[in-house]
Amino acid sequence: MNEIRLAPPLIATMEAHARATYPDECCGMLIGPVPAGDGPRIVEAVEPAANEFEGERRRRFVIPPEQLRATERRLEASGRGVVGFYHSHPDHPARPSTFDRDHAWPWYAYLVLGVRSGAVDGLGAFELDPESGEFAERPIVRSDGAGAGPVASGKASA
Amino acid sequence: MATVTIRIPTPLRPFAGGHAEVAVEGATVGALVGALAAEYPSLRRHLFTPDGQIRHFVSVYLNDQDVRGLAREATPVKDGDRVAIVPAIAGGAPAGRATRDRPAGAPDAVRAEAPFSRDELLRYSRHILLPEVGLSGQKKLRRAKVLVVGTGGLGSPTALYLAAAGVGEIGLVDFDTVDLSNLQRQILYTTPDVGQPKLAAARARLAAMNPTIRIVPHEARLTSENAMEVLRPYDLVIDGTDNFPTRYLVNDACVLLGKPNVYGSIYRFEGQVSVFDARRGPCYRCLYPEPPPPDLVPSCAEAGVLGVLPGVVGVLQATEAVKLILGAGEPLIGRLLLYDALAMQFRELRLEKNPECALCSTHPTQTGLIDYLRFCGVPGSEAAAHGPAAPEIGAKELSAALAGSDPPLLVDVREPEEWDLGHLPGARLIPKGELTEHLDELTRAREIVLYCRSGARSAQSTRQLLDLGFSHVRSLKGGILAWAAEVDPSLPAY
């Protein structure tokens, strides 16, 4: 099972982003080393992105391909890349929606932050199962900033 | 047949034997992606829909250009080209509950994220070629919702250019019908539209200009009661109004809703343009805290206007609207652009936010919409009646009196140019501003009837004469417009 490892300050960054854009959705990229195959997704940095969705940004987000491409290129030489994405669900729980599932890519880690009345009230991690086409929940492991072993496991909530 | 390297995105590498790049052969982009899927069958479902189209959220780049801006799958390739498959990432909360302004699952939201059709790419190609616009800018235009208040001289060119530019939703506010006198400057309308409701004609014209956008008519006078509701769904508002009450109303509603207001106004040969966004700069009230006295500022109908003038000003407004949507360039916030058509000069004044502004300062005294007719002292509104109302005579009654044995003295208080457009038989011309210089020409023995275009100016002059001691003075109710409607349709109702 591909767990998601990330340091608490990164969670705080995403939470601040989610609060700042409320009631609109926020979105961003998870940056880390690109594993050869399966394995834990180690998030070393989060990169907030502008929500480029054209319409009701309270319940949709889009990160356009050119933006993803630009980030990938910038990171290429470092051996790191985009290993997943985060976005918020204003006034909805931290679970992927049907729309999330229909537009999801395999392999990437998807973090969803639930925001209620402007306060973050949940964080969930998910990965698309390419066989069933459904999301499976993944454990979030809060690591320290130095990339040491897990200090906690299971679903985190703020 | 060319040999081309395709770059596989990280999430799909497990389905392509773990490769980051795969060399395949084909003559077009579509053939290459097809060949890739043939070599790695488990890739197919991630790249193609069941009916064989490339999925919306799969972007294909040929040498750094999205093929949606080229010939899509039919784009030809040659040896040495580089193709990259790039994911677009999308998601979002479930429909329902969280939405406030619009019903969940609004079809335009789905439409806004769909890729452009081939026709749309062609239509907007001259935009997409601009690095400052590009596909992402064109999409911003498509998802934008702009309200045009007033579809007259200013609103006509503005709405036409916004529609041409591909602004996805254009709301139009007007309640008038097309008049022959509009056609000299209101280029949304054509001669066969005369007598038709403006919004029906405007909608048809804009839809013909660009059938891919949505036109939302609001056939009503904008009032304090409906303004918030009408403006709320829009991203920005274009002020194409021709009167002060509505202009203050538009400004105030924009400030209260936190929306930019692209302002334009015209007078004879001169125009003004600015962008009022109280979050980033001054509002209209910072510039003009109080409206001018109503009789100081005649409308286009009273003062005349050079027909091309609203064209220039309206197109400047459209330019600012497009820039705001794109987030490109320097918006006209905190700047008032003045245009003088006769001198052919543009001047710019710097506008500061008024720290004491009643509406947009940190300590506003006005926190909601007010009675704008009253605020602007419009004749006929409750508070405008300072002093006694002028006595009036109806058009039919006047017609009978003129035919009688003791006809009143008929005085036209309009300007000479208006007189030349048509006047009542037997009248004499004394413009309102010159009335006091011609008192000796007026008789106190006979009744005097004053008239103007609509009855506003003549009512003021009537009160003036009564104050000066004339006892038998009346004003033609509804002015020459009423006369044309009730007595003599051959007189032009301008």
- With an 8 Å Cβ cutoff, is B99 touching chain A? yes
| Predicted local distance difference test score (pLDDT) of residue A157 | 36
More confident: B249 or B93: B249
Task: Determine the Cα–Cα distance for residues B408 and B473; give it in Å rounded to an integer.
Answer: 9
CATH of A4-142, one of 3.30.70.3450, 2.170.190.11, 3.40.140.10, 3.10.105.10: 3.40.140.10
| Closest CB to B11 among A65, A92, A107 | A107
Whether residue B423 lies within 8 A of chain A, CB to CB, comes out as: no
Lowest mean pLDDT among A57-61, B104-108, B381-385, B480-484: B104-108
Most confident of A59-73, A95-109, B40-54, B306-320: B306-320
Given pLDDT bands bounded at 50, 70 and 90, which one contains residue A35? confident
ipTM for the assembly: 0.80
Domain-wise residue ranges, chain A: 4-142
Angle at A59 between CA A58 and CA A64, to 5 degrees: 100
Q: Which residues of B are catalytic?
A: 300, 452
Complete domains list, chain B, with CATH: 2-87 (3.10.20.30), 110-382 (3.40.50.720), 387-486 (3.40.250.10)
Residues of chain A in contact with residue B46, where contact means CB-CB under 8 angstroms, are 105-106, 130
Please tell me the predicted confidence (pLDDT) of residue B111. 52
B97 contacts A92? CB cut-off 8 A:
yes
Strand order in the sheet with B335-340: B214-218, B169-173, B145-149, B236-239, B261-267, B270-276, B335-340, B345-350
Half-sphere exposure of B177 (CA within 13 A, CB side): 7
Tell me the shortest Cα–Cα distance from B376 to chain A, in angstroms: 37
Quote the tokens at residue B105.
């699952």
Residue B103: is its pLDDT beyond 80? no
A106 touches chain B (CB under 8 A): yes
Dist CA A49 CA B370 (whole Å):
41
Q: Which residue has the higher pLDDT, B261 or B243?
A: B261
CA A130 to chain centre: 18
A96-116, pLDDT tens digit by residue?
988 888 888 999 999 999 999
Q: What is the pLDDT of residue B99?
A: 33
Chain A residue numbers with beta carbons less than 8 Å from the beta carbon of B91 are: 27, 60-61, 85, 87, 96-97, 99-100, 103-104, 110
CA of A103 vs chain B CAs: smallest distance (Å): 6
Name the β-bridge partners of B216.
Answer: B171
Residue A26 contacts B where some CB pair is shorter than 8 Å: no
Residues sharing a CB contact under 8 Å with residue B276, sequence separation 6 or more, in sequence order = B251, B254, B255, B260, B261, B263, B282, B283, B284, B333
User: How large is the average pLDDT for residues B485-494?
Assistant: 86
Q: How confident is the model at residue B88 (pLDDT cuts 50, 70, 90)?
A: confident
Q: How confident is the model at residue B184 (pLDDT cuts 50, 70, 90)?
A: very high
Closest CB from B84, B92, B100 relative to A60:
B92
> Among B88, B92, B143, whose Cβ lies nearest the Cβ of A97?
B92
Q: How far apart are CA A89 and CA A91, in angstroms?
A: 6
Percent of chain A with pLDDT over 90: 34
Please report residues of B whose CB lies closer than 8 A to that of A24.
none
> Among all residues of chain A, which has the CA nearest to that of B85?
A65
Bridge partners (DSSP) listed for residue A29: A47, A85
- pTM for this predicted structure: 0.53
The answer on pLDDT for B449 being more than 60 is yes
In this prediction, residue A37 carries a pLDDT of: 67
> A39 CB near a chain B CB, below 8 Å?
no
pLDDT exceeds cutoff 90 at B199: yes
Task: Determine the Cα–Cα distance for residues B342 and B377; give it in Å rounded to an integer.
Answer: 31
Task: Name the residue among A17, A102, A23, A18 with its Cα closest to residue A56.
Answer: A23
- Selecting from A55, A97, A110 the residue whose C-beta is nearest the C-beta of B112 gives A55
**A60 inside 8 A of chain B by CB:** yes
Q: Which residues contact A148 (CB under 8 A, 6 or more apart)?
A: none
Task: Please check whether residue B145 touches A, CB under 8 A.
Answer: no
